[in-house]
Amino acid sequence: MAGEMIENPFDSTGFDLATMTEAINLLPNRYGRYQQSGLFTVEPVSTRVIEVDELDGTLNILPALPVGAPPTESKHDKAKSRFFKIPHIPHKDTIKAEDIQNARRPGGYDLETLSNLIMVREARMRMNHAITLEHLMAGALRGIIYDYDGTTVLYNLYTEFGITQKVLNFVFTTATTAIPTVLRNVKRHIEDNLRGDVMDKVYCDASEEWMDAFLEHPTVKEVFLGHQAALKKAGIGGDARQDFEFEGIIFNEYRAKAPGKNGTLKRFIPADEAIFYPGGTTETFKVHNAPANRLDTVNTPGLPLYAWQTMEPNQRWIDLFSEANPLTICRRPGTLVKATKS
């Protein structure tokens, strides 16, 4: 309200680390297919480096033996350990006295208050972290995790795990290309590389160029038209480019993009490409959250986000800080398939 006194955040528990951290984590995340899908299991850690153990064990069929015969003995494989440093993503905003002085709240006549402006700025910071996490998750699904510039590689999971990336070129320009057969082979490849994990579906997230070529291919088009007609008949009114099932694979056009370095828009799935990956896994996709770079959070289980503020000694401005320390990782990059088109 007009005339409200500007409170000193240090005099209010509503602006301490615990409360601001809880508030920023409770803010709704309106962006992020991968975050909303639950594909990635969140596991907090209390360190800045995690160790991933890899066991090449297999399940063996045990023989039926006569009563009293010596039992078969279990064989134990030696684990291969790999270490991953968790990315550190700090963020900052500043509220100056002039941002509040004589300023009205948008859409009203009441003067702006410090507490309201903190909430507004905090929500904006939350969304910046959300789109960053989505970008990191998309990288994990591609097997190569890039920094914000889209070129600096944080982790090449194929190199880290010592495997070759599976790349398939879909020849859409040839009408006789047996797309169903190619897709069945994609599923078989993913199944063979689950290595002890489970899945319930295979998903494909495609760029608009790849999706258009796929849907227009003669072996797919008739099924897709039936999919469109079924949506229309049911009165669902959904986007036919989403959740289109063909050969047991769920296809989605995913056009996510966001400004990166120097404001350049970065597409999460590059033009003419698509990615295939398993859904319903339990151990394959993880997000490990590390603690904030603060003395009061050292060696504690990491949270998705942290938020706090500090006031300039002469009370001319307040610095708002937020921080995330997420490692998005695919522990079985052999299950990932990159698709191109020609």
- pLDDT tens-place string over residues 209-245: 999 999 999 999 999 999 888 888 877 767 888 999 9
| Cβ neighbourhood burial of 184 (10 Å; 0-12, 13-18, 19+) | middle
Residue 2 pLDDT grade (very low, low, confident, very high; cuts 50, 70, 90): very low
| Cβ neighbourhood burial of 240 (10 Å; 0-12, 13-18, 19+) | middle
Q: How far is residue 86's CA from residue 186's CA, in Å, rounded to a whole number?
A: 31
Q: Which fold has domain 12-51+84-341?
A: phage-related protein like fold (3.90.1690)
Mean pLDDT of 326-341: 97
Q: Do 265 and 259 contact (CB within 8 A), yes or no?
A: yes
Answer yes or no: is pLDDT of 320 > 50.
yes
Return the pLDDT at 69.
Answer: 79
Q: How far is residue 203's CA from residue 39's CA, in Å, rounded to a whole number?
A: 11
In degrees and rounded to multiples of 5, residue 214 shows phi and psi of -65, -50
Least confident of 184-188, 240-244, 284-288: 240-244
> In the chain, what are the domain boundaries?
12-51+84-341
Which pair of structure tokens corresponds to residue 31? 């962006």
- pLDDT tens-place string over residues 27-85: 877 668 899 899 999 999 999 999 887 765 445 555 667 777 788 777 666 667 889 99
Residue 260 pLDDT grade (very low, low, confident, very high; cuts 50, 70, 90): confident
Return the pLDDT at 201.
Answer: 95
Residues whose CB falls within 8 Å of the CB of residue 331, separated by 6 or more in sequence, listed in order: 52, 283, 284, 285, 286
Report the predicted TM-score, pTM, of the whole model to 2 decimal places: 0.88
